Chain A
Amino acid sequence: MSNGFDHSNLLRGVVDDVLQAAARKDDGPAALWAAVEQAGWHEVAVAEAGTGDEELVDLAAIVQGLGRHGVSVPLLERHLGTWLTRGRCTGGGCVVLLPRPGIDDVEVTRTGGSIRVSGAVGRAPWLPTCDSLLLVLDAETGTDAQALRIEIGTAAVEVRSGSNLAGEPRHSVVLRNSPAIAMDVDVERIELLRCRAAALNAAMMLGALERVLELTCDHATSRAQFGKPLAAFQMVSASIALISAGLAGARAAVDGAIEANVSRHDPVVTTAAAKIWLGRAATDTARMAHQVHGAMGLTQEYELGRFTPRLLAWRDEWGTARYWATALAKRFSGMPSGSSWQQLIAAT
């Protein structure tokens, strides 16, 4: 549809303009977030829009832009909290904390009217700037689906600083019988949360892949050795072709995942596919891009260094590729031949 194509091009241009302007100012994370809010991005795909969720396509394009500019803002995390609570939770306090299956351990006790939570949850984003967090539990954590609001500034909550490979804040939260308040949220949204987060995460990785390919082509055509550009060497141009092919698949993967999260029709299958594909593409592209760039790419100063650590960090967030692959395999294992095919088709 030409309308859809023009709209997405327009949005891409706007996102690039906003982020380039912010990069030129270089005023730090708070200013960057202010630019996000000024552009209204924190409100995209939050309001109820009929039975569908078409604005999610726009949000995916926006976070893809964040990836393409190598920028760290907690837009994805904040969006999840605002969306989950249908806009009732806004601002710093609605960052979603989603325990990692098989890694994080959380126990909820209810006595009378009070709720207490104990356990440890790792890789929590952006916490010290928030006064509370939204702990979301679901079948993956072995509990009923629920969203619990927990105040951070109490003795019962310990936040240990940490960061991911790209230096983005990822803290650990230790809860010792912490008081919590149950938030009234749709169980359906809790059940959709992991897929929504993972699909947006895939979109961010897609953006980073785009920029890495650009940088790699630029480098290979401008850097010369032995009297010719690096790109003239087949072993180098082969890597570029492989990055490009992986990127082509990544586009299709993200399109599929976002579509399924918009329609809410069996999003697990295409979201898992996207996390699997993007995880592999991130790993391979980071490796090949560094090879082509040589020593210069190993510095923090050179632009590649803004992107490859992010790719390598983001690939494991909101579920590792292995987690999603295992979920897919369990879904289809033991099925007779015809059924597995039919199920695969039905999910798209």
Chain B
Amino acid sequence: MTAPSPAPAGTDAPVETAATLAELRQDVRNFLAEWRTEKGFVPRCDAWMRGYDEEFSRALAQRGWIGISMPRSVGGAGRSYLARLVVTEELLAAGAPVAAHWIADRQIGPAIVRYGSPALQAEFIPRITSGEALFCLGMSETEAGSDLAAVRTSAVRAADGWRISGRKIWTSHAHHVNYAYVLARSSTGADRHRGLTEFIVEMGAPGVTVRPILDLQGEHHFNELLLEDVFVPESRVLGQVDNGWTQVTEQLSFERGGAERVLSTYPLLASVLERLDDTATAAQLATVGELLGRLQVLRRMAADVARGMDQGRAPAREAAALKYLGTEFERQVVDVARDVMEVEAEPGAAGLAGMIADGILCAPGFTIRGGTSEMLLTIIARAELR
């Protein structure tokens, strides 16, 4: 399979320099400072998954920070992937509640830009960039996790569109958002990588049911998404019929190279740093220092991925390595916080004790979602041993 290329940023984009990126970074910091003062938010780990706040998302949208790297011609800000990295780094480091728009901004918007018809782009991109169109991912099923091509949700042709039936699982925030991206099987044949189609489904359409799944902490973000003969008009097919596999693997490769694969637990690391004082032992300092060093390298890797995308490349291998290494780091932050801080985890407590508890129970998901570490290492090994 040839490596796909990302859609380049809009050709009418302003020239990106270190200065423009630094200015953007400061703007985001200023916004966060204001938001903290006026609304307050409690920084938490994994905020891009768990911090759902539509008002916050709309405020970001007003400043042009959702869809920042989508071309201006379709309603984005036309800036670089590096610009998106700068914005997302600041939001994630602050533990800000970005979950509502995250999927739309990270992958569905870019997928629509890349493969959507002009009508679909006109219908959705402005509403994604305004923070109004919010998406959940109808990808995984009980029998199709890492093996995404094994999806059984079916799409059958109907008059002027399709009827979709099936059950999706692990669909975060399906209970909140207005749209679902759905990957379904549109035809069967010898090659199961053919015959998949991507759809945009209205959450309010007849036949759509959402059932909550509580996670280890008793939090509700996961859901089952039941689709019973749901009608989807032809205009809401994303890209080409039966071309879904090529399209979705492109989504996945971009999903892996972002700052959220490194910074999910930064709020916890920041708290640890704040608490380290003169009584810290040499061993404690060395352990925390190692984390800081690894963080800097991982940030550089994420910047290299963004630069690659800005140059029109699709750095799938680098993104896989980054996701593997970054999520291991995220987990290590939690382990080090426990070891070094001598603070017992206390669910719901304010400060470090609560954050450690949160981190411990969030951690198992890091290396599973968006491509398990086992899958990533398999991809890397195959590339090396070709």
Contacts and interface: CB of A to CB of B under 8 A. Distances in A.
A242 to B, nearest CB: 7
Interface string A305-348: 00000000000000001101111111011111110111011011
A248 B318 contact: yes
Contacts of A344: 292, 295-296, 299
Contacts of B25: 345
Contact of A240 (B273, B300, B384): B384
A11 B321 CA distance: 26
A269 interface: yes
Given A248-B318, A252-B301, A337-B267, A325 B381 contact: no
Given A276-B289, A325-B289, A341-B270, A244 B296 contact: no
Nearest to B271: A337
Interface string B344-385: 000000000000000000000000000000001110110111
Interface in B254-297: 266-267, 270-271, 273-274, 276-277, 280, 282, 284-290, 292-297
Contacts of A276: 289-290, 293-294, 297
A127 B304 CA distance: 41
A221 interface: yes
A333 B378 contact: no
B43 interface: yes
B145 to A, nearest CB: 18
Interface in B82-105: 89, 93-94
Interface string B127-147: 000000000000000000000
Contacts of A238: 377, 381
A113 to B, nearest CB: 41
B380 A244 contact: yes
Contact of B298 (A249, A280, A326, A330): A249
Q: Max chain B CB contacts within 10 Å: which of A272, A333, A336?
A: A333
Nearest to A323: B286
A245 B324 contact: yes
Interface string A240-258: 1110111011001101100
B241 interface: no
A256 B282 CA distance: 26
B300 A326 contact: no
B335 to A, nearest CB: 15
Contacts of A340: 270, 273-274
Q: Max chain B CB contacts within 10 Å: which of A240, A325, A348?
A: A325
A334 B293 contact: no
B380 A245 contact: yes
Nearest to A346: B22
A243 B24 CA distance: 36
B300 A341 contact: no
A329 B385 contact: no
Interface residues of B, number: 48
Contact of A274 (B285, B297, B376): B297
A270 interface: yes
Q: Max chain B CB contacts within 10 Å: which of A272, A330, A337?
A: A337
B16 to A, nearest CB: 14
A121 to B, nearest CB: 22
A272 B273 contact: no
B289 A277 contact: no
B294 A329 contact: no
Contacts of B288: 325, 329, 333
Given A333-B285, A334-B274, A252 B304 contact: yes
A237 interface: yes
Contacts of B93: 341
Contacts of B300: 252-253, 255-256, 270, 348
A217 interface: yes
Given A273-B297, A277-B293, A333-B276, A242 B285 contact: no
Given A221-B385, A240-B385, A248-B321, A333 B277 contact: yes
A337 B274 contact: yes
A213 interface: yes
A240 B280 CA distance: 37
B325 interface: yes
Nearest to B284: A329
B273 A332 contact: yes
A332 B292 contact: yes
A136 interface: no
A206 interface: no
B21 to A, nearest CB: 11
A173 interface: no
Contacts of B267: 337
A335 B273 contact: yes
Nearest to B32: A338
B285 A326 contact: yes
Q: Max chain B CB contacts within 10 Å: which of A269, A327, A328, A329?
A: A329
Contacts of B296: 256, 269-270, 273, 344, 347-348
A117 interface: no
Contacts of A326: 282, 285-286, 289
A217 B321 CA distance: 17
B182 to A, nearest CB: 32
Contacts of B284: 329
Contacts of A269: 296
Contacts of A322: 286
Q: Max chain A CB contacts within 10 Å: which of B93, B287, B296, B298?
A: B296
A162 B267 CA distance: 47
A249 B326 CA distance: 10
Contacts of A328: 289, 292-293
A217 B270 CA distance: 39
B327 to A, nearest CB: 11
Interface of B: 25, 29, 43, 89, 93-94, 266-267, 270-271, 273-274, 276-277, 280, 282, 284-290, 292-301, 304, 317-318, 321-322, 324-325, 376-378, 380-381, 383-385
Given A217-B384, A244-B380, A345-B89, 11 more contacts: A237-B381, A241-B377, A245-B380, A249-B301, A252-B301, A273-B293, A276-B294, A325-B292, A329-B286, A337-B267, A338-B94
Interface of A: 213, 217, 220-221, 231, 237-238, 240-242, 244-246, 248-249, 252-253, 255-256, 269-270, 272-277, 280, 321-322, 324-330, 332-338, 340-342, 344-345, 347-348
Q: Which 10 A-B pairs have the closest CB atoms?
A: A325-B289, A276-B293, A329-B289, A333-B276, A273-B296, A241-B377, A248-B321, A241-B381, A329-B285, A337-B270
14 contacts: A237-B385, A241-B376, A241-B384, A244-B383, A244-B384, A249-B298, A276-B297, A325-B287, A325-B290, A329-B285, A329-B289, A337-B271, A345-B25, A348-B300
